[in-house]
Structures are given as C-alpha cells and as structure tokens.
Amino acid sequence: MNLSVLDTYFGWREPAHRIDCRRPAWTVDIREDEGFRPSYGRALSKHDCADEDCDHSSRYTRKTVRVVCRCCHAARVISGEAGGDFQTSTRTVGFGEEPRKVAGLLLWPGEIWFDDEPHEWLVTGRDVERVERTDLMGQISEGRGPRGGKQYSAVALPTPDGPYGFGKYRWARAEKGFKALAAAAKWIAEQNDKGAESK
C-alpha cells in the first residue's frame, strides 16, 4: 500500500458500536459478485470511460465488506468496484503489531520495506493501547548514511506550527544521524522531558 507511518495509524476510524454494547467485537466478511452500473432506464451498454484502454461494460466485479457486531447489532456494509485486494499480515502493514519498548517509550511500526523491517515508527509513552494524535511524542525514520549504512532521524514535540514536518503533522525539534533506533528513541524521550520542564 505504501503508506507513511502517520497514515498507517491516523485517518482511519473504527465503526462505532451502540452505546449499550456489552461485548464490542466485530465479525467481518468479504463478498465478491457481479454488479451493474445504473442505466437510468436505458439498455445496458458499454461503459463510457475516458480511458481508451477500458474494455469493461456496465457490469463489473463488486466487492462488499460486511461488518457486524452480534452483541449490539450494529452493522456497516461497504460496497464498491473490486480493486486491489491482497492478503498479507500485520507485520507487513505495521498496524496490529506489538510496539517495541525502547528507552521507556513505545515504538509503533510502519510498513515493512526493502530489508524486511519497518522504516518508520511513531513514538508514544508506555500506557497506550491504540495510538491517537494526543499520544504522539515523536517519529523515527530510517535512512542511509554517506557509506550506505543505516542511520535514523527523529522528530519530537508535536507542535501545530513547528518548523519540521509537513501538513498537519509538525514538530518542534529534529535530529538526524543516529546510528541505532534506541539512540533516536532516547533523544525523543529527552526532548519530551525538556519540553515538559519548560511548560
């Protein structure tokens, strides 16, 4: 999927259970069948598409995902044209893996890259079960040094108008050239301690 570590953990939302649900748990099923594009009273004809290589008609492969809670009876049905779908593991996508415990912090992995390891981690404190923006203490990214060896860069102290990062994820401090993941995590812990002292 090629998601950044921030996109791996943020921008998703879990379907809501009903307020009185005593045992919140989802049953998820996937179905593929043939769908038909609406014809609005006309005969079904070749699908008019701007792509000159498009050869599909008004029929298409539809994928439907059904998400149901058997306790509170909440249900979601998501349906659309079947696209890229593949089975993989939490290790590959990052989300769902246990975080690493380093320097008194939790490091939440992003997607696996070339060397069968994540190349990015979100950093939070120890008492976090599912990462929320308010939990963020920093982010670590793997890169390569001048001789091709692994190096890590880190950002710390999420700040809306910070000088580092882009978009809605900005940071007050950044450092690069760490030789080990643990060293980058330790630096983030120190920056957050200093940030707490200055408040």
Task: Determine the Cα–Cα distance for residues 45 and 184; give it in Å rounded to an integer.
Answer: 59
Predicted confidence band at 187 (pLDDT cuts at 50, 70, 90)?
very high
pLDDT single digits (tens) 49-90: 666 655 556 667 788 889 999 999 999 998 877 766 667 788
Q: How far is CA 51 from the centre of its chain?
A: 31
Place of tokens 């649900």: 21
Residue type, 191: Q
| DSSP character at residue 22 | S
Give the closest residue to 13 by CA, choosing from 78, 64, 79. 78
Taking all residues of the chain, what is their mean pLDDT, rounded to a whole number? 85
Task: Render 36-93 in DSSP notation, one character per residue.
Answer: E---TTSPP-B---S-TT---BSEEEEEEEEEE-TTT--EEEEEEE--------HHHH
Phi-psi region of 70 (alpha: psi -120 to 50; beta: other; left: phi over 0): alpha
Rg (CA), the chain: 22
Angle at CA 3, nearest 5°, toward 152 and 97? 75
Task: Determine the Cα–Cα distance for residues 174 and 151; give it in Å rounded to an integer.
Answer: 14
Are the C-beta atoms of 178 and 153 separated by less than 8 Å? yes
pLDDT single digits (tens) 3-36: 889 989 888 888 999 999 999 999 999 888 877 6
Are the C-beta atoms of 68 and 75 separated by less than 8 Å? yes
pLDDT single digits (tens) 164-184: 988 888 999 999 999 999 999
